[in-house]
Structure 1
Amino acid sequence: MPDFCAAYGCSNRRSLKTRARGITFHLFPKSGKMRRQWELALRRVDFVASDRTLLCSEHFRSEDFDRTGQNVRLKEGVVPNIFNFPAHLQRLVATGNTTTSRRAEDNLPMDLSQDVPKPDVGATGDRSLSLKWQATDHLYALPACPKAIKAKLEESSAQLRKLQREKSNALRRENRAKMNMQALLEELKEKNLINKELKDNLECYSDLPVHLLSRQGVEYTKAQRDFALTLHLHGPKAYHYLRDTLHIHLPHPSSLQRYSSLALQTIFS
């Protein structure tokens, strides 16, 4: 039975496609307190998680994960906080005490947080909301001093470079996930392009560095040639699917004939 993400409006399920996109799935915490925090974060009426209930990685921040081991794990005490709720589940908060507000304030330059009016303790909700809008208008105003403008620009540029690095790292992780031989074999089996026997025979090549196959001009190793010969001989449709559809840089069929001739010469010499 497929494993689906339990978040509102999320259609991700555990499959080859989500694994290729770098999406991981995580069980709800076993402890009662943390599990209850996760359940409340989903904002689903009378929702109670089971021992098999999952959330996908798209509902957590990148810094919530521990990627030091072989498996991607969540850090201790992490609570999901990235959701796409409809309007009736959105919460209107007048003060700046939410997690999103604190994250936004952390990204603002320090000199822009001065002189921001704060709501009185005994103020009404309308008064608090009004002060919030005043603070927002003030924060978006440009400083009058040219040095302050330059400092703000430099800080914004540094933040942009940081986001670009994070995006680049995410793309590299996604490409590594896609360029996994085990994932390719699973996809071929799922599409009925190879049978179980052939898949089992090709398991010995599961640690083959597929990313090297995408580099033009790189000499194929013996393991790569043997893999190509075996797949082309027993699963030609699968071979052409990898080469023509997924654009994996496998040897041309004419090169395979040359490899076969050289192998026969070696055997009978």
Structure 2
Amino acid sequence: MPRQCAHARCRNIQRKGNGLTFHLFPTSEGHEERRRKWCIQMKRVEGWKPKPWDVVCSQHFLPVDFDLTGQTKRLRHDAVPSKFDLPEHLQKHEKKRQTQTSKRALEERQDDHQAHMHESNTKSLDSGHVHSSIPDFHSYAAPDEAVGKVKLRRTEDRVADLELQLKNTKAREKRCKSTLSSIEDELKEHNLMTAELEEKLQAYRDFPMDLFKKPKGSEAYTAEQRRFSLTLHLYGPKAYEYLRSKLNMPSTRTLRM
């Protein structure tokens, strides 16, 4: 498999016919300091260590670093890579991840700069001085137009954030309504809620019914869930069977355990 130069911004690949030579990192005893310098020059993250097969291309060495007296081009024993002015087409370009928040912050800074330039230019015109740099907006625009655009954009962004917060709040409220009180009307509609049962269930009005969505098995139910189910079974067995057909409530056998 072709090997690529270990320098962080080099794209040279080891293959025949490209006129480059590739050299392994120093590993022999007594060359620890030289190896350390090589690693630093690779511009990698701090603490990076080369693999045994990592190489550096000849693009990063000076002509004096090579011994040309023999038939082959050899790297001198004290050579350290020091040449890194690579052509544009050989450089790696890292794409920076940009979040929506950072993008918005950048736009706000640009808008602030534009508004500041507009205001400065307007003041200079009023005082008889003209800047050599002309901002890229219409000269006939009102003095406060750029500032107004900045404020409008910020207001729109703020409204969007508030709408998102409202949406999340409604979602949480919908989840919270999944309690016993939310299904009382359903039990009454099916004539399953007696006066005695309604009185006994007052203590469980805020009981989260979605807890019964856990897997089946006695180990899945808490002590509070078992007490609620037992109360419901004793004072409203029909209501208990109705809810058990919709939710994963413990069986009568489990309640007796």
TM normalised by structure 2 equals 0.33
TM normalised by structure 1 equals 0.32
- Higher RCO (CA < 8 A, seq sep 6+): 1
Radius of gyration: which is bigger?
A: 2
